[in-house]
Amino acid sequence: MDVELYDFELPEHLIAQTPLLDRTASRLLTLNKETGHIEHHQFSHILEELKPGDTLVLNDTRVLPARLFGTKEDTGAKAEVLLLKNLSGDKWETLVKPGKKLKKGSVIVFGDELKALVEEEGEMGGRVLNFQYSGIFNEILDRLGQMPLPPYIKEKLEDKERYQTVYARHEGSAAAPTAGLHFTEELLDQIRAKGVTIAFVTLHVGLGTFRPMSVDRVEDHVMHEEYYILPQETADILNETKARGGRVVAVGTTSARTLETVAGKCEDGNIVKSSGWTGIFIYPGYQFRLVDCLITNFHLPKSTLVMLVSALAGRERILKAYQEAIEREYRFFSFGDAMLIY
């Protein structure tokens, strides 16, 4: 399957640069995956789309202020580091700029509080860094780090919390699970009051978010692994939901990938608690085991995420919906509008 099949033209002015003041004021395109029927609403309309007995699954990961700006100790040249994954202790998998100058043995200095030694070199700017500091690393990171906004966002983010979901709890992500940015505590309370159960999974978003596909055939792409946790409480809720005929509504592709990873490990169909690393790649031809509906943002052309939503609703339906969203000037990507596939 050719990656080019998932390409589309997106006018640059439709890439959302800043979040809306009101999280629920974004727009919502609803797509029936069986018929292709499309409707247009405000995001708060999601309350009407959810049914008593459904379960809404949220990814409660919290984004680290993982972008650090420093200098090379020996030359004073500028260096940028993006933390991706804690390997052990003070060792981190990172992306660095400029990659060519930050060789093994280089030392990067971030003010007076923090240094990092380049211990290993990887591909495309990948480095393993060993950090040296006094005090508590996360507190230093809070002071020195910036939110790791995607490269297509050029505007400065005034409020760090707008790149966090209101239910973010477990620190570890290099990017936000952006479908969840549309929810407020008030809307979640209204959803619960309607008889919809809310359950949580954790998936720490990593390197795959930042790396484009570099292959021509979809099947040749290898996903970078990310760490997930599905607790027993969520497993119980999912089993009860399926038993009563309710729908499992995943909020975001990260929740969907976590759910499908766990479902793939359960031979008898009974979901049990699980944690570990997932590199699941969902593209057309995949049969969903657990996810019935998906709330998601609009994704980059030729991305694994466009392929995931195409697996759920069909490539032609997705591209038609995207074209309609472009014609109606929906806002795209991380701070953009949302889509419900049901």
Q: How confident is the model at residue 209 (pLDDT cuts 50, 70, 90)?
A: low
pLDDT in tens, 155-197: 989 898 999 999 999 999 989 999 999 999 999 999 999 999 9
Residues 6+ apart with CB under 8 A from 256: 250, 282, 291, 294, 296, 308
Could you tell me the pTM of the whole model? 0.92
| Residues of the chain above pLDDT 90, percent | 92
| Mean predicted confidence (pLDDT) in 119-147 | 94
* Mean pLDDT of the residues in the chain: 95
Phi, then psi, of 116 in degrees rounded to 5: -145, 135
What CA–CA distance (Å, rounded) separates 192 from 23?
18
Mean pLDDT of 2-29: 97
Residue 210: per-residue pLDDT: 62
State the Cα–Cα distance between residues 225 and 106, nearest whole angstrom: 27
Write out the two tokens for 246: 């309710």
Tens of pLDDT, residues 62-116: 999 999 999 999 999 999 999 988 999 999 999 999 988 899 999 999 999 999 9
% of the chain surpassing 70 pLDDT = 99
Taking residues 197-220, what's their average pLDDT? 89
Instruction: For residues 219-235, give the mean pLDDT.
Output: 95
